[in-house]
Structure 1
């Protein structure tokens, strides 16, 4: 019995060295802990992660993403750092835009109502620059605004005024052309094929030369004799289109009727009217049914320039008669307006160079 080994049991707790070490060792093994200081195997780490609940893993990933994102500046923060905020009253910016619109349209009537793309860019940039120049006390801020997104958007809208003017000018042009040149629907025909062919023929005959643009009037001379007189660009259709552009659409407000260049502006108006008239007749000559097409195209730009060359080449009595037509239109416009647009703009925009920087952020 003396050689029998003694084992620690719950009934024999007297051996403290063995009774305390055993529970500690068993508890560490139960928790899966160990004292190895070497690197953990990847498979063991992956297995531990995969055993974690899914919502824990998503939560930790989301937290890590939030921490990472918080260190990245937002687009608005980056923009504000790059472009310091300008303090300009919105009413001042609106006034600059309105002035630029007026200057752009006025320059179109003075220069050309069908300018090239490069000319449009030049005229638009000049109009906005001149509008800004009216405010010397705010020139620095406004020039900075011009280079930014809103300023470039305003510049793009100025360039779009050419197409807008063309759309506005078409208006009731088709009805005027149909009435003036008798291109009505011939209701006595039995089928549409005959209608199309007759209309195409009548329109094609008109286009053989440019005489359809003119008017022949009977005028009593000083000696009492009645004489036929040709008025270039004086056809009823052209006069009606020009009146529609200037009066009904209100574009006469952009022309200084008391200034030295009123004749140039009104002359360009009749040139545009002639190009629109030619465009409508050409459409009729091709299909007989006035199919919808876009007036703003290279073909009509060429036509406009040809009509302008025709106007510039007038000499003698034809030049005198055309000047009389423009004078007649000017007198008509004077009855509708006393050049009120620029007076209104001067009052509203306060062009006295005393417009101070405001507090509203733009």
Structure 2
């Protein structure tokens, strides 16, 4: 494959930098990957292989680019804003080429921007929220005179508060439905106009306990049922009600898109076993169940609850400040 062919496959035009090439590649993969289409016909697999080959070829090239991306004007970032969010956050971007001695990412913007799957890497979005939570705690610590530059997380309690803040902030800066519609394409639209998505998921178990035995008894095509929500995860069971474990997705963003919609009763799911694999050679024994996860949207989610979340954040920070005052 030559450069001209690679550019045609990924619809890349002359002069585009590596960030744009990466964005186009990921957008095409979301639309054409066999997992997204629910089909593994040879021509589809070949198309994905060509896209991978084209992407790796183009990313090796010297593309004209700003070497120090941090010089970009921060106000050039465009995106949906949650004006009522509790705080601002940094928006980070990967450098489009290796810059020796520089961090792996730079701050492209700061504001109350919602996460956009087409513009912002999810891993960097999570880093952004961890930093935002840390900043909020540092503000409290500075007021109480307990802030230490070299070690902000002074205790297990501080770490626990930061974790709670992080999850509250995810709910302020992720619109589950909007993010889902950008991150994935429906497998089909049913006769009633409802979007049906298909995702690959899996459940793992190890040892010799009930969960391991239950997963080993599953057969291809067998149904799996949700049992309960535990934080941002779904506990699943078999037909007989035996607990299998927590459902896992290959893409972390799906936890923050799918589960909030399920909790709000805006969607329904159907799960079937795709394959069961066991490894009994070492200890502990391990089992993995590949699952076809079907997700059907039933209705729009309720109105924004930013005000309620802001109150929860205020109460959490006040409790943290009170804890510091008692030391």
TM-score range for the pair, normalised by the shorter chain length: under 0.3
TM-score using structure 1 length: 0.24
Which has the higher Rg, Structure 1 or Structure 2?
1
Higher normalized helix content (fraction of residues): 1
User: If the length of structure 2 is used for normalisation, what is the TM-score?
Assistant: 0.26
Give the number of the structure whose residues are more often strand, by fraction.
2
